[in-house]
Structure 1
Amino acid sequence: MTETAQATGVGSEHVIEGPGLRFRVKRTAMTSEEVFRAELAKVFGRTWLYLGHESEIPNPGDFVRRPVGGRPLFMVRGAKTGAVNVFHNTCTHRGAVVCRVDKGTSKVFQCFYHAWTFDSEGRLVGVPGEDAYGDDLDRSALGLGRARTESYRGFVFVTFDPDIEDLPTYLAGARQYLDYVVDSMDGNVEVVPGTNEYGFDANWKLLVENSIDGYHAASTHDTYFKYLVALGTDLSIGVTGVTKDLGNGHAVLEYQAPWGRPVALWEPLFGEDSKEEIAALRAELTDKHGEEKALVMAERNRNLLIYPNLIINDIMAVTVRTFVPTAPDRVEVTAWELAPQGELPQLRQRRLDSFLTFLGPGGFATPDDLEALESCQQGFASGGVEWNDISRGMGRDPQATDEEQMRAFWRRWRVQLDATD
């Protein structure tokens, strides 16, 4: 009996590796309310979770708010320190939400309930009728609650686990792929204003699998490939690549594909007027990083999973996507586009078009994917089959259509769900 088979707990009840080249996931992992509650505590409560990008709050007082791991938070650029501050979005008086709009700029945040007021550094700076508290009101002890926050190359993460490792250690092999994204843009990265937000009726882990799955592309996205052919894209090179386990549940699908990349692989869709500029970008990448690394950054596509719920699609556009489960069969998704600051207008236009045309909620890929995931969730209700099979490629070096990247996610998930409180 293998070590995996000997383990006990919720995780090991749902993820079985072996005997032989078999890897199975019990379908109740996608339908059980008990599993969902355990995930909120043991997965989302004990990992580093992506909150946002520093470029979203460039100026003092700029802020964004969003839920992370099911908890309301907001991120603000400190007016005095210039630091990226992340606070729990709850008043220290009686608990009401303090930041009540999704983004903006403000020197102070005032709770609408009793008007307690906090500055952008989280300090309590105003209490109506403060004399009613006598001399015992200690403002310094009543500032906003800070979330533990670390940033890697502009990507801001938070955690609710006081004992977790530091962020660079947690990111493990995923750091290299974040570096590819940032270095390909010469370090001058920004989130383009505007987001995609949508939801669907299926389990969040199905979207994890789908986001790094090369096996479904040809069948599920047949319409998109026909669209590319109609526009004159040469599909003869096909889609070839590898999948990798990057440690700590992170994984990547890395491949070459027929479409162009704004940094820095030209194709006719970008227009003749951008050809010279893209060639210059490629030459600059080569000068700075060497020919081999420049080739990787310019020509290879990457679907990167940073466990548990951050997907970076570094493809014909660079999409940053997170998703928050609200029930075993419901997920809310938010996506942003990442781009170089000062990019040529025609390249920015092509990048945004790709962002919407392929990965947008009304694009070619996303509706196909959501239909597939909701269909899976509906199929689980049929019964008669207890396990999903995720064994593809176990007997060979992982290829783009294999499932090693999904197994990396599920192994980490199993460990966390087995953990004792």
Structure 2
Amino acid sequence: MSELIELQNVSLKAADMVEEGRVHKDLYSNPEIFEEELNKVFNHTWVYVGHESEVPEAGSFKTAYIGRQPVILSRDRKMNLHVLQNRCRHRGATVCEARKGKTKAFTCPYHGWGYGLDGSLRALPKPEEYDGVFDKKEMPLESLRVETYNGLVFATFKDDIEPLEDFLGGAKKWIDLFMKQGGGYPVKVLGEHRFNFPGNWKIQLENTTDAYHFPIVHKSFVTSLDEATADIFDFLDGEGFVEDLGNGHSVMVMIPQLVDLEADLDQPIPDRFAELAQALREEGKSEDEVKKLVRAAHGTGFNLNLFPNVSCSMAFFRVLRPVSVGETEIQHVALGGEGAPEAFNRKRMRLHEHFQGPMGFGTPDDGEAWERVQKGAQAGTDGWILVNRGMNNLHESRDGNVAGAVCSETGMRGAYRQYKKMMAAAGADQTAEESK
């Protein structure tokens, strides 16, 4: 008779499930840990809620989520930005269900309480019944602290948190480089699509700086490219790198020559971009402008992961939203240039559709891989997931950060280091309402 396998008891404390080089699979499937994450991570840090171009005018708004909590990003008549809890102060109904639009006020559909774009309570039916009960000034929609960096809008429930620029730290340099892909025009959201996959949010968080999977999972994408472009995407043995930027942020540089889109503009335009160049000339652009736009049209050579919920990925934004322990919503945001030539924005949309669109080559393949990780996490009673690739082959980056080869898991370890810190934080177990 064979010997019984001795099983190990695993602590349910999430912070104990993160070690340098590995994380426990229960982080993907334990519902108690998921609920703890919503509070300790999403309610206690800066979370991306949108891009300024999505609320361009007074009265513009878009709805978003911070963890599970619905919020509204709005711009008031003075062009100030607000992030408001999407919850009427009377009986708790959401006051806005549209994804985006323009309005003069938010009105609760249940009892008709009306709120201004800044969240202030402006009107309510039968106001005399509240005489002596409360002052309208005391009952606005709850506001979150909101700050922006280079068009990216973040919000937090914590009033005493560090400034956004401090939180972004070393990532600011890479955000600035990413925003050059407007080709001399301000970056603008052109559109977006959303889908849910049956897997934990951290599976996607890992993916953005994981070059190791690219030639395997995205083989069909590579075969759809012309030979010159396919060669560019053969980057595992190149000079790229992954850099830990601190606070859970990281960058994966796949194509170093495309890090700064405003460099080397004196180089001739490659033949494969001749059609776009000609279309831009026909729109009246000078040769210098054409070169700048052509170079920017195809995106940057890096993926930037901003903990916990957004990545600036080559040419688009990817925003994740945790729905449940085994379900995550993904929002893919197509980017172009505000006021840029039609040919430029059209090309940007076609490239987005080619890889990230619902019928593109990238999204379905990634989605299947993420789903398989979630399924595999159910197997066995004790199991660790490895994030140790490249641990013994690290170097210091030009900015003084820890970096590894492009196929290393340096970025994942950085994200989990921040995750472990937040999940282990003492006194972080109060709700978002209590922390205000």
How far, CA to CA, are the matches of 1:29 and 1:197 in structure 2? 24
Query: What residue is the counterpart of 2:311 in the other structure?
Result: 311
Further displaced range: 131-140 or 113-122: 131-140
TM-score, with normalisation over the residues of structure 2? 0.83
How far, CA to CA, are the matches of 1:357 and 1:284 in structure 2? 22
Identify unmatched segments of 5+ residues in structure 1: 1-7, 18-22, 286-294
How far, CA to CA, are the matches of 1:55 and 1:296 in structure 2? 18
How far, CA to CA, are the matches of 1:36 and 1:221 in structure 2? 30
Identify unmatched segments of 5+ residues in structure 2: 1-10, 395-403, 428-436
Letter in 1 for 2:373: C
Mark the CA change 1:167 to 1:258 in structure 2 (over 3 Å): closer, same or farther: closer
Further displaced range: 111-120 or 382-391: 382-391
How far, CA to CA, are the matches of 1:177 and 1:278 in structure 2? 28
Query: What residue is the counterpart of 1:89 in the other structure?
Result: 86
How far, CA to CA, are the matches of 2:53 and 2:377 in structure 1? 41
Contact 1:257/1:300 (<8 A) preserved = no
Letter in 2 for 1:255: M
Report the alpha carbon displacement of residue 361 of structure 1 after superposing the two structures with TM: 3.0
The answer to whether residue 411 in structure 2 is matched with residue 399 in structure 1 is no
Equivalent residues in 2 for 1:102-121, closer than 5 Å? 102-121=99-118
Letter in 2 for 1:402: S
How far, CA to CA, are the matches of 1:244 and 1:329 in structure 2? 29
Letter in 1 for 2:331: T
Mark the CA change 1:243 to 1:138 in structure 2 (over 3 Å): closer, same or farther: same
Letter in 2 for 1:302: F
Aligned length: 394
The answer to whether residue 226 in structure 2 is matched with residue 229 in structure 1 is yes
3-state SS, counterpart of residue 415 of structure 1: helix
How far, CA to CA, are the matches of 1:229 and 1:56 in structure 2? 34
How far, CA to CA, are the matches of 2:44 and 2:85 in structure 1? 16
How far, CA to CA, are the matches of 2:329 and 2:233 in structure 1? 35
Mark the CA change 1:377 to 1:133 in structure 2 (over 3 Å): closer, same or farther: closer
Identity score, percent: 31
Equivalent residues in 2 for 1:131-142, closer than 5 Å? 131-142=128-139
Render the CA deviation track for 1:93-141: whole Å, top value 9, x for unaligned. 2221111222111111111111111122222221211122234541111
Mark the CA change 1:364 to 1:66 in structure 2 (over 3 Å): closer, same or farther: same
How far, CA to CA, are the matches of 1:217 and 1:173 in structure 2? 25
Render the CA deviation track for 1:332-363: whole Å, top value 9, x for unaligned. 11121222212222221121111111112321
How far, CA to CA, are the matches of 1:30 and 1:279 in structure 2? 51
Contact 1:92/1:144 (<8 A) preserved = yes
Report the alpha carbon displacement of residue 383 of structure 1 after superposing the two structures with TM: 1.3
Report the alpha carbon displacement of residue 400 of structure 1 after superposing the two structures with TM: 0.9
How far, CA to CA, are the matches of 1:377 and 1:308 in structure 2? 19
The answer to whether residue 240 in structure 2 is matched with residue 256 in structure 1 is no
State the superposition RMSD in angstroms. Answer: 2.8
TM-score, with normalisation over the residues of structure 1? 0.86
Report the alpha carbon displacement of residue 147 of structure 1 after superposing the two structures with TM: 1.2
Of residues 15, 21, 25 in structure 1, which corresponds to 2:18?
A: 15
Report the alpha carbon displacement of residue 379 of structure 1 after superposing the two structures with TM: 1.4
Equivalent residues in 2 for 1:344-383, closer than 5 Å? 344-383=341-380
How far, CA to CA, are the matches of 1:257 and 1:223 in structure 2? 23
Letter in 2 for 1:238: D
Render the CA deviation track for 1:181-224: whole Å, top value 9, x for unaligned. 224434612111x3110001111111111121100111111111
3-state SS, counterpart of residue 369 of structure 2: helix
Further displaced range: 256-265 or 273-282: 256-265
3-state SS, counterpart of residue 411 of structure 1: helix
Query: What residue is the counterpart of 1:35 in the other structure?
Result: 33
